[in-house]
Structure 1
Amino acid sequence: MTSPTHQAPRKRNPLTRRTRLRTAPVLAGKTVLARTTVAALVFALGLTGCVPLFLPQQAPTTSAPTGEKVSAALKPFYSQVLKWKDCGDGLQCTTASAPLDWTDPGTEKVDLALVRHPATGTRVGSLLVNPGGPGGSGYDFVKESLDYATDAKLQAGFDVVGFDPRGVGRSSSVTCYEPAQMDEYLYGLPVAARGSDAWIQELTVAAADFGDACQKNTGALLGHVDSVSAAHDLDLLRAVLGDKKLNFLGYSYGTFLGATYAELYPGKVGRLALDGALDPSTTNADVTRVQATGFENALRSYLADCLAGENCPFDGSVDDAMATIGALLASVDVSPITATDGRQLGANTLLTAIIYPLYQATAWPNLSEMFTSVLNGDADVAFQFADGYNGRSADGKYLDNSTEAFMAINCVDYSYNADPALMRAQAAEIEAAAPTIGKYMTFGDIGCANWPYKFTGERSQIKAEGAAPILVVGTTNDPATPYVWAQSLADQLDSGALVTYTGEGHTAYNKSNACVNTAVDDYLLKGAVPASDPMC
């Protein structure tokens, strides 16, 4: 959350993940179940034993492209026939091809990996799903967590299609570092004092080295992982899947991808549900400041709940507890705690460990467990949480390339500055907005200011004039994509309709609120748009 580099957790700012994966941090005991919402897998496995009794007619193994008119250069892409293969648990997988450069489609190609769960009832069409990030694997989201991504009603009416956007996972992907190098990049500690000129120079060198490695190991793709290119890919996938219009369910960053599609192709918008919205018009600095405020507020909500219950590691008022957390972060910033595996817990990694459970209120008890251990001088649980956030397994390997993809996409989706004076002024604003954690979410521009490729567009409002109604879902105390962004996106869109969920956590659909679920299901399945915000 914030921007690439050393502010929020990770060494070069993990929390730069401005709309982190839509994860349900299911933290059982001291085991962090990693980020592609593994909890949903439990339910999916529980259902597979009964599925054969209710299987619908076998879905076609080849796609039927729409056959719409496109340029001669794009025709080979839009007319390609996908061949689906069984990949277990009733799912089918395939790979599509897209132009590397949409402005010059006759050059190189990229691969886009897809997985689908065929409709179990009367089919409405295809529903493409994106879990967020940027850098989240929609392929894994559907394959491993289908029942978390969508409910039974959507699975009955749609072929639920997960895909890895360009740069991500099983598609043509960004590659930068080996695991040991990534450990240093995410968890390593700078030598110089935070905020000093020497500290800024340290981070600048580290960020430049990372960008150079990404360029060397990824090649030309690195310059074409922007969200506009990904939105063009979405239209291609829509067409080759055989849908005249796009039906899409996007979480977190996926809301920006969906809104970008609507701006580019308003006449081809079918039903777009955008949950946990990102405001397309915000600058990188605004994103960091608003997210810092969101996580600070979520931390205060956790503490109010903790102090009112039992086994809370804090005493006194919420303000007293926030002061304790601030002192703890400051302490490990200068005197890191060594974990069993030898890694040192500094302030950035500790903040990652704090933020990870704040995504869902159900994980707050695990946050208490982590605080208890760190206050007692034990760094192991904090590293388990930070590893879960960063997709690092217990054996030191990384489960996916989401960190690299996150950086690569954000670096070409926003503009950044390399002026230390401006960064310090922005840091002061962030610290004022979030006095406890803001200090560790600053100077994020460093990560992308010297990236091999630059942002060439303009961050502005998305109106999508002429598009069919688009549903925007916002949670009032969502720390990762604060509610004000959902309000802003719904207002910007000419046809935006807001559904508010009053509650905690990141995103709202398909959790426990029947009001939200009904609004989203009725919209996607029937095209029904609430006459007014139901205020769930």
Structure 2
Amino acid sequence: MITLAAGGCTSVSDGQAEAGVHFEQAGPAGTVPPGLEKFYGQQLGWGACDDYASSDTDRKLFKSTPELKCARLTVPLDYTKPDGKTITLGLLRRKATGQRIGSLLINPGGPGASGVDAAASLAGAVAGNDLGKRFDLVGFDPRGIGSSEPSVHCLTDAERDQQRADDIEDSSAAGVAKQVQQLKDYTSKCAQRSGADLLANIGTRDVAKDLDVMRSALGDKKLTYLGFSYGTFLGTTYAEQFPANVRAMVLDGAVDPSQSPADQSVAQSAGFQKAFEQFAAWCVKRQDCALGKDAGKAVQAYHDLVIPLVKNPVDTGDGRKLAFADATIATIQALYTEQLWETLNSGLVQLKRGVGLTLMTMADLYDGRGTDGKYSNEQDAFTAVQCVDNPQSKDLATELDTERRATQAAPFLDNGQPLPTASAGDACSYWPVPNTSQPHLPKVSGLPATLVVSTTNDPATPYQAGVNLAGALGGFLLTYQGTQHTAFLQGSDCVDQVGVAYLVDLKLPAADPRCSS
């Protein structure tokens, strides 16, 4: 049969070629770059999502939500060689239940987070509003991530556990030398296990090109996009490459595309310090606060709990030990949202008793470790994308200066050790392939109005970055007053009303709106 879709006709087969799979060809739609016609007009086979899940939780969600269907999109590994190697990306779709406008493509951030998982999680949030009625909600795993094939893979599960258990806070000359060797070993394994050709083409520059293939294959002449956190950088990169192909973009939790990695790190540290102070002010009002009763002394109270872990990790109860680095990651995880403050305080109270289970559980959540001991590839993918999106720093003095500035901006993160006389750098200092982009002010001539959402006390992507991005794109800025990372579709009726009206009807307020928690 033939059914109409945005951008043209969709031909649908009965799926007999593969049991349980429903084949559709909705593209090509809109502008198609020469030489890429077979990708832009490819057929997609939609079926069950079981094989696309990255955790047991996701598998249960997919099984309980049968309307979610998944498919694979084929794209060139290297866009300069469209007739060369190809890779596939995992897609998940919840179809519109009303008069369809097109697809709403989402990216949850990271880089390294699964858009397949994110779309499944958001399916319920859009079901009752016009987004769910008017748009197919489509999440995708960017190249090398989650269900996409091949995937970035650097460490085995056992090696990841060992890496976390190792003392990485030793600032002696021997400690720095050990860190350098560990970083070199890590990057060597990334190249060996992932393939240098995948690492060379995994950057946001190429993911943006994949996004345009996706747009066309789904049958959309123009892209409607929702990006969170790093997803705002992906959206900005797409807008720069394909400004005429954009219908609408909501960019929530903005990354400033012109800011250097060093300055981003320092600004983010300051953001987490501000969130820690908000947590401390909340905590000291409680009878059971692990940080005492004086918010002015909360940093010292926190240090008294976690700095001893540098030399004396504590048992978690599952055969592992909680070291300083994991306690820090657990705290950072909790500072992303007020909903985890109760758990953080419980973990710190537990740490007072010499047990690290709750904090380790939160660190596992951040690092993508499941209850079965298996890791997602989110952290490896994060490193891989970051290292090709930015110039690789070889200047150890600059690395040391960044470390010093970040520590000054976030005193609660201080490990109590003297800064090393020479920095070990990071994985990107030894990365096996060159960067494919660098920070710059985007050029987006012809881009329609966009909506940037920025939260006043966002710890991970500070408010000013949203101000800067809205200015760079010539878009509207929605300010949300709160302490959390991102705000759209997360419980604020005010934010959701503005965002939904824009995405559905392209309606924006006359002036930059403000919402409060």
1:457 and 2:401 correspond:
no
The 5 Å alignment of 1:166-245 reads: 166-172=143-149, 173-190=151-168, 194-219=170-195, 220-245=197-222
Percent identity between the two aligned chains: 37
Which residue number corresponds to residue 348 of structure 1?
325
Which residue number corresponds to residue 46 of structure 1?
none
Distance 1:186 1:477 in 2: 29
Which residue number corresponds to residue 481 of structure 1?
461
Which residue number corresponds to residue 39 of structure 1?
none
Distance 2:356 2:320 in 1: 9
Deviation at 1:153, TM superposition (A): 2.4
TM-score scaled to structure 1, two decimals? 0.84
The 5 Å alignment of 1:408-423 reads: 408-423=384-399
In structure 2, the CA distance between the partners of 1:263 and 1:91, relative to structure 1 (3 Å rule), is same
Which residue number corresponds to residue 481 of structure 2?
502
Q: Is the 8 A contact 1:227 1:413 kept in 2?
A: yes
Which residue number corresponds to residue 76 of structure 1?
38
Give the letter aligned to residue 497 of structure 2: T
Q: Deviations over 1:392-419 (max 9, x none)?
A: 1223112x21111111111111123233
Deviation at 1:161, TM superposition (A): 0.5
Distance 2:441 2:127 in 1: 29
Give the letter aligned to residue 510 of structure 2: A
Partner of 2:411, secondary structure, is: coil
Deviation at 1:91, TM superposition (A): 1.6
In structure 2, the CA distance between the partners of 1:80 and 1:155, relative to structure 1 (3 Å rule), is same
Give the letter aligned to residue 44 of structure 2: L
Q: Deviations over 1:132-161 (max 9, x none)?
A: 110111111123442257763211110000
Which residue number corresponds to residue 336 of structure 2?
359
The 5 Å alignment of 1:429-468 reads: 429-438=405-414, 445-468=425-448
Q: Is the 8 A contact 1:427 1:439 kept in 2?
A: no
Deviation at 1:320, TM superposition (A): 0.8
The 5 Å alignment of 1:105-184 reads: 105-148=82-125, 152-172=129-149, 173-184=151-162
Partner of 2:437, secondary structure, is: coil
Distance 1:417 1:94 in 2: 38
Partner of 1:436, secondary structure, is: helix
Deviation at 1:72, TM superposition (A): 4.7
Distance 1:528 1:390 in 2: 39
Q: Deviations over 1:232-289 (max 9, x none)?
A: 0000100111101100011111111011100100111111101111111111111111
Distance 1:179 1:98 in 2: 29
Partner of 1:121, secondary structure, is: coil
Distance 1:334 1:421 in 2: 27
Name the Cα RMSD after superposition: 2.1
Partner of 1:73, secondary structure, is: coil
Deviation at 1:524, TM superposition (A): 0.4
Distance 2:393 2:172 in 1: 17
Distance 1:514 1:148 in 2: 12
Which residue number corresponds to residue 41 of structure 1?
none
Distance 2:91 2:239 in 1: 21
Partner of 2:455, secondary structure, is: strand
2:68 corresponds to which of 69, 86, 91: 91
Deviation at 1:94, TM superposition (A): 1.1
Give unmatched runs, 5+ long, in structure 2: 1-20, 50-64
Q: Deviations over 1:76-122 (max 9, x none)?
A: 11121222225452122111111101122121111011110000111
Q: Using CA pairs under 8 Å that are at least 6 residues apart, name the structure with larger relative contact order, 1 or 2.
A: 1
Give unmatched runs, 5+ long, in structure 1: 1-58
The 5 Å alignment of 1:352-391 reads: 352-391=329-368
Distance 2:158 2:34 in 1: 46
Deviation at 1:445, TM superposition (A): 4.1
Give the letter aligned to residue 119 of structure 1: A
Q: Deviations over 1:476-503 (max 9, x none)?
A: 0110111111111011113x11000000
Distance 1:440 1:422 in 2: 21
Distance 1:121 1:384 in 2: 41
TM-score scaled to structure 2, two decimals? 0.87
Distance 1:475 1:137 in 2: 23
Which residue number corresponds to residue 392 of structure 1?
369
- How many residue pairs end up in the alignment? 474
Greater Cα shift, 154-163 or 67-76: 67-76
Partner of 2:251, secondary structure, is: strand
Give the letter aligned to residue 450 of structure 1: Y
Partner of 2:25, secondary structure, is: coil
Distance 2:477 2:512 in 1: 6
Distance 1:429 1:149 in 2: 41
